[in-house]
Amino acid sequence: MLKVVEKSQALKTTDCAITYRSGDDDVFGTCPKHCALNPNSTMSTSKIDWDYLDAVLDAKVQGGRSWTYSHFKFEDISLKQNKRFHFNFLYRIRDSKNHTTINRSTDTLLDALAVHNKGYPTTVTLSDKNISKNFVLDSVLFVRCPSEYNKNVGCNTCDLCSRKNRNFVIVFYGHGSKKKLVGDEEQGGCYGTYGRVRLQWEHTRKNNVNQPRNDKQKLLQFVQGLPYGTNIRHHIVGDVGKQNKLPVQNKKIINK
C-alpha cells in the first residue's frame, strides 16, 4: 500500500513530496528480509517488485529531484539471474540522471565500500557510538548527512542523496527509539519501528487494506499532479519489495 503526501510538514523533509509504502499484512512487508535494520523479517520479502520499481524510477518531476533508499542488493543481480535488470534497470538505477536516484543502503563500512566501488550511489547507517562528521576510508570519502548536525539544512535544500555517479558515501547515524540496535548482532534498528513514523506507516496499511492495490498507478498519478520543480523523497519507510501473500486465516488475525 502506498501513501502519498504532496507537501511534507516534517522537519527534515519540509516542503518535499513524500511517500510511505507498506505491505498489506505488515508494515515491513515491502522490505527485504536480509535488511539488518528490519526487526520483522518473517513478514518481509526477498523479491523485488519490478513493475513498481519501474514506476519509482520514472517518478521524477521536471525541474525537481527524486530519490529514495533500498536495501535490495542490486549489485549482486547477475545477467543470468535477471536479463531484464541488466538491459533496462541497471542503467537507470546506477547511471541515468534523468531517473530517480535509488541509494543502496548498507549497514557496514566494508559493505558500503564494496557497493560504492561497483558504481552505485551508496549510503551507510552506523552506530551513534563514534560519530564523525566526515572521514576517509580506503581512499573513499564518507560524508555525514548535513541535516543530522545542522537543523537549518533539510532534504529540500540539500541535494547529496539525489546525486548519481558521486565520489563519496553518505553516512547516517542511528536514530529513533531502537537506534542502539544499529550495528548490533540483533536484527533491528529501523527508525520506523516505533514513534510518529510508525503511526504514519500503520495508517498507510490500515487505511488502504480494503482497497485494490496498484502502487505503480497511484505513484505515477501522484507525480503527474505535482508542480514543476517539486522534490520527491520516496519511501520515508518501506522499500521496492514484492510482498508475500499470507493465507486468509492469518490475515484475519493480523487485521483484527
**What residue segments make up the domains of the chain, in order of their start?**
2-241
Give the per-residue pLDDT at 211. Answer: 64
d(CA 108, CA 164): 21
Give the per-residue pLDDT at 206. Answer: 87
d(CA 109, CA 123): 10
Give the per-residue pLDDT at 210. Answer: 60
Question: Please, where are the H alpha helices in the chain?
Answer: 50-58, 83-84, 90-94, 109-116, 195-206, 215-224, 248-254
Give the per-residue pLDDT at 219. Answer: 97
d(CA 196, CA 240): 22
pTM exceeding the 0.85 threshold for the entire prediction: yes
Give the per-residue pLDDT at 182. Answer: 77
Give the per-residue pLDDT at 87. Answer: 87
Question: Residue holding cell 528490519?
Answer: 38
SS3 content of the chain, % helix, strand, coil (to 5): 30, 20, 50
d(CA 6, CA 190): 24
Burial class (CB in 10 A: 0-12, 13-18, 19+), 44: buried
Which mean pLDDT values do the consecutive 10-residue runs of the chain (256 residues) have?
A: 95 97 94 93 94 97 98 95 91 95 96 97 91 94 96 95 96 75 74 91 81 86 97 98 69 48
* Residue 93 near residue 102 (C-beta atoms within 8 A): yes
Residue type (1 letter), 24: D
The torsion defined by the Cα of 89, 93, 94 and 96, in degrees rounded to 10, comes to 90
Handedness of CA 47, 19, 178, 196 (dihedral sign): negative
Angle formed at CA 200 by CA 197 and CA 205, multiple of 5 degrees: 125
